[in-house]
Amino acid sequence: METTHGTLSGLEPLLSIEELAEYLDVPVTTIRDWRTDGKGPCAIKVGGRVRFATSDVLTWLHRQREAEPGRGPSGG
């Protein structure tokens, strides 16, 4: 099967918890805490390992965006 940049053509890239932590510039423990508290992006468990679809991460990030500068996502 042909690949593009190490992923199968046509499949959405999945991030490991370490890759997501690096992308967000937070410790891996923060990602784990967010998962425990239900605050982070949705994850997918594959073979006992946690993975994050890039589309889920982007959706979650969009929800974290401030409604206005200095205000939280809900505007408060």
Please answer whether residues 65 and 73 qualify as being in contact, where contact means their C-beta atoms are separated by less than 8 angstroms: yes
Q: How far is CA 2 from the centre of its chain?
A: 26
Cα-Cα end-to-end distance for the chain: 49
Collapsed DSSP state (helix, strand, coil) of residue 66: coil
pLDDT of residue 48: 93
pLDDT at residue 49 above 70?
yes
d(CA 74, CA 24): 21
Read off the pLDDT of residues 4-42 as tens digits, 9 standing for 90 and up.
555 567 889 999 999 999 999 999 999 999 999 999 999
C-alpha span between 65 and 76 (Å, rounded): 12
Q: Where are the domains of the chain?
A: 14-64
Model's pTM, two decimal places? 0.77
pLDDT at residue 3 tops 60: no
Residue 2 has pLDDT above 60, yes or no: no
Nearest to 40 by CA among 49, 52, 22: 52
